[in-house]
Structure 1
Amino acid sequence: MERHRNSIKFDHHWTKETFAGPGDLDAVGIIYSIQVCGPSSIQNLPWPETCRMSLASNTLVTRIPRCTPYNSTSELQHLPASTQTPLFHNPVTAHLENGKYLLLSGVKSIWIHLCSVFSNAWKKVSSPDAIPDSNQNANVIPPSESQGAIPHASSTAEGDRPVFEVTTHSPPNPSSAETAPEPLSSDSEADTMFPAPQAQEDLTFPVVTISAFTETGQQESSIEVPLQRSYTGRKPVISSSLADTPCATLGVMGLLDQLNTTLRTSHTLDTPSMSSTLEDCIKNNYDFGTAYGRLRAAWVTKDWNDFPDGLCTRKAQDQKRRRKALVGNRIVNPELEPRRVWDLYANRVVPWWSSDASLPMTSLTASVRPVSHAWMDTKDRVDVWTPINGKEWPVPIPKDASLDRIRIEMLNLGAEYTWLDVLCLGQEGGPREDLRAEEWKIDVPTIGVVYANAKVVIYLSGLGRPFTLNDGDLDSDRCWFRRAWTLQEIGEERIIAGDTPDGPLHAKPIDKYENYDTEILTRFHEQLRSISAVYHRNWWLSVTPKMFEVLSEMQNRVSTNPVDKVAGLAFPLVPITIPAYRESESLEDAWTELVNAMSVRNRGELFFWYHGPGDTGTKWRPSWEQVMKKPLPVGQYYSGMAVHWDREMNDNWFEGSCIEKVFVRGLAAGSVEKVKRRGKLIIKDANGAEHTFDIIARHKFPIPEDIYTLLGMDVFGLRLIPKQCWVVGRRLSDEKFEKMSVFEMVDDEVRRLKRLRITKEHRNILI
Structure 2
Amino acid sequence: MDDRIVAEMEAQFRRLLAEPDGRQDTGHAPRSEPHAPLPVIFELFPLAKKVSVPKQIRFKGPGALPNELAKISCQRLGRQRLLNALNDIHGTRYTLDPKESHLSWQLAICISKGWDLGTAYSHMRPRWQAKDFGGPLIEDLDFGDIDVYNIAARAARAIGRRDQSVFTDPFGVLCYIPPRRVWDLYSNRVIDYGVVELWEDTSGLVWRISHSWVDASELRTVMTPINNFQWPVPIPADVDLEQVRIELLNAGAQYAWLDVLCLRQSGLEEHEELRKKEWRVDVPSIGFVYSPPHRSRRPVEYGPVACYFNGLGRPFVLEEGTLSSQRHWLNRAWTLQEHKHDMITLGLTPASPTRAHARHSAVVRQFYERLDMLPSHPPPNIFAVLRSMQPRAAAKPTDKVFGLAYFLVTPRYPHGVPAYLENEDPEAAWLRLLGAMEQRYRLDLVFLFPRAGDGKVAWAPSWKQVMYCDLSALAAAPATDYRHTHFLHERVSNFMERLPDFVADFIPDLIKDPEEGLLSQPVLQLVSERHVKKILDATGQLFTRGYAVTSCIVRGLGGLPAVGAPRRGYVQIAGNTVEVRVAHRELIPDGEYALVGRDGVTSEVWVVAKLVQQDRRRFSGSTLWIRKVSVLLMTTDSRLKLGSLDPGELMSLRFT
Query: What TM-score does the superposition give when structure 1 sets the normalisation length?
Result: 0.67
Residues 630-679 of structure 1: CA deviation (Å, up to 9, x unaligned): 12323144151637775325342232111112122222124796875222
**Partner of 1:210 in structure 2?**
43
Q: In structure 2, do the counterparts of structure 1 residues 149 and 749 end up closer, same or farther at CA, with 3 Å as the change threshold?
A: farther
Q: How does 1:332-731 map to 2 (within 5 A)?
A: 332-356=173-197, 365-430=203-268, 431-452=270-291, 455-505=304-354, 508-510=357-359, 516-517=360-361, 519-531=362-374, 534=375, 536=376, 538-539=377-378, 541=379, 544=380, 546-575=381-410, 576=413, 577-632=416-471, 633-634=474-475, 635-638=477-480, 640=482, 642=487, 646-648=533-535, 650=539, 651-670=541-560, 677-684=567-574, 690-715=575-600, 724-731=604-611
Residues 384-437 of structure 1: CA deviation (Å, up to 9, x unaligned): 111111111000000000100100101111111111000000000134122111
Amino acid at match of 2:214: M
Q: In structure 2, do the counterparts of structure 1 residues 646 and 257 end up closer, same or farther at CA, with 3 Å as the change threshold?
A: closer
CA contact (8 A) 2:221 2:232 kept: yes
Q: Distance in 1 between matches of 2:649 and 2:259?
A: 53
Residues 702-725 of structure 1: CA deviation (Å, up to 9, x unaligned): 111212111112349x8xxxx521
**Residue 306 of structure 1 is aligned with which of 135, 139, 152?**
135
How far is 1:303 from its partner?
4.6
Q: In structure 2, do the counterparts of structure 1 residues 671 and 380 end up closer, same or farther at CA, with 3 Å as the change threshold?
A: farther
Q: Distance in 2 between matches of 1:274 and 1:526?
A: 55
Residues 707-744 of structure 1: CA deviation (Å, up to 9, x unaligned): 2111112349x8xxxx5211101112576211100012
Does residue 330 of structure 1 match 2:168? no
**Partner of 2:500 in structure 1?**
none
Amino acid at match of 2:365: T
Structure 1 SS opposite 2:542 = strand
**Partner of 1:754 in structure 2?**
643
CA contact (8 A) 1:272 1:305 kept: no
Q: In structure 2, do the counterparts of structure 1 residues 300 and 487 end up closer, same or farther at CA, with 3 Å as the change threshold?
A: closer
Larger Rg: 1 or 2?
Answer: 2
Amino acid at match of 2:643: K
**Partner of 1:153 in structure 2?**
10
Q: 593-602 or 375-384: which moved more?
A: 593-602
Does residue 265 of structure 1 match 2:145? no
Structure 1 SS opposite 2:366 = helix
How far is 1:473 from its partner?
1.6
**Partner of 1:764 in structure 2?**
653
Q: Distance in 1 between matches of 2:281 and 2:164?
A: 11
Structure 2 SS opposite 1:253 = helix
Q: Distance in 2 between matches of 1:223 and 1:673?
A: 58
Q: Distance in 1 between matches of 2:587 and 2:199?
A: 53
Amino acid at match of 1:345: Y
Q: What is the percent sequence identity of the aligned residues?
A: 35
Residues 459-512 of structure 1: CA deviation (Å, up to 9, x unaligned): 1111101122232221111111010000110124211211110222376244xx
Q: Distance in 1 between matches of 2:431 and 2:121?
A: 45
Does residue 739 of structure 1 match 2:628? yes
Q: 470-479 or 349-358: which moved more?
A: 349-358
CA contact (8 A) 1:368 1:419 kept: yes
Q: Distance in 1 between matches of 2:16 and 2:172?
A: 54
Structure 1 SS opposite 2:357 = coil
**Partner of 2:495 in structure 1?**
none
CA contact (8 A) 2:450 2:586 kept: yes
For structure 2, the residue ranges without an aligned partner over 5 or more in a row are: 22-34, 147-151, 293-302, 490-531, 615-623
How far is 1:572 from its partner?
1.4
Amino acid at match of 1:414: G
Q: In structure 2, do the counterparts of structure 1 residues 461 and 302 end up closer, same or farther at CA, with 3 Å as the change threshold?
A: closer
Structure 2 SS opposite 1:488 = helix
Q: In structure 2, do the counterparts of structure 1 residues 694 and 637 end up closer, same or farther at CA, with 3 Å as the change threshold?
A: farther
Structure 1 SS opposite 2:387 = helix
Q: In structure 2, do the counterparts of structure 1 residues 303 and 751 end up closer, same or farther at CA, with 3 Å as the change threshold?
A: same
Q: Distance in 2 between matches of 1:602 and 1:356?
A: 34
**Partner of 2:64 in structure 1?**
237
Structure 2 SS opposite 1:476 = coil
Q: In structure 2, do the counterparts of structure 1 residues 279 and 442 end up closer, same or farther at CA, with 3 Å as the change threshold?
A: same
CA contact (8 A) 2:39 2:88 kept: no
Amino acid at match of 1:336: I
Q: 473-482 or 152-161: which moved more?
A: 152-161
Q: How does 1:135-174 map to 2 (within 5 A)?
A: 152-154=9-11, 161-162=18-19
**Residue 228 of structure 1 is aligned with which of 28, 35, 56?**
56
Q: Distance in 2 between matches of 1:672 and 1:366?
A: 59
How far is 1:750 from its partner?
1.9
CA contact (8 A) 2:440 2:488 kept: yes
Residues 179-223 of structure 1: CA deviation (Å, up to 9, x unaligned): xxxxxxxxxxxxxxxxxxxxxxx99955735332xx52x44xx32
How far is 1:159 from its partner?
10
Q: In structure 2, do the counterparts of structure 1 residues 670 and 417 end up closer, same or farther at CA, with 3 Å as the change threshold?
A: farther
Q: 381-390 or 452-461: which moved more?
A: 452-461
Q: In structure 2, do the counterparts of structure 1 residues 741 and 367 end up closer, same or farther at CA, with 3 Å as the change threshold?
A: same
Q: In structure 2, do the counterparts of structure 1 residues 762 and 160 end up closer, same or farther at CA, with 3 Å as the change threshold?
A: closer
CA contact (8 A) 1:729 1:737 kept: yes
CA contact (8 A) 1:243 1:287 kept: yes
Q: Distance in 1 between matches of 2:392 and 2:132?
A: 52
Q: Distance in 1 between matches of 2:549 and 2:462?
A: 27
Structure 2 SS opposite 1:661 = strand
Q: In structure 2, do the counterparts of structure 1 residues 391 and 364 end up closer, same or farther at CA, with 3 Å as the change threshold?
A: closer
Amino acid at match of 1:681: V
Q: Distance in 1 between matches of 2:638 and 2:38?
A: 72
CA contact (8 A) 1:342 1:349 kept: yes
Amino acid at match of 2:342: E
CA contact (8 A) 1:468 1:503 kept: yes
**Residue 112 of structure 2 is aligned with which of 260, 283, 299?**
283
Q: In structure 2, do the counterparts of structure 1 residues 239 and 157 end up closer, same or farther at CA, with 3 Å as the change threshold?
A: closer
Q: In structure 2, do the counterparts of structure 1 residues 405 and 671 end up closer, same or farther at CA, with 3 Å as the change threshold?
A: farther
Amino acid at match of 2:422: E
Q: In structure 2, do the counterparts of structure 1 residues 159 and 447 end up closer, same or farther at CA, with 3 Å as the change threshold?
A: closer
Q: Distance in 1 between matches of 2:449 and 2:365?
A: 34
Amino acid at match of 1:581: Y
Q: In structure 2, do the counterparts of structure 1 residues 672 and 473 end up closer, same or farther at CA, with 3 Å as the change threshold?
A: farther
**Partner of 1:139 in structure 2?**
none
CA contact (8 A) 1:445 1:580 kept: yes
Query: What TM-score does the superposition give when structure 2 sets the normalisation length?
Result: 0.78
Q: 308-317 or 588-597: which moved more?
A: 308-317
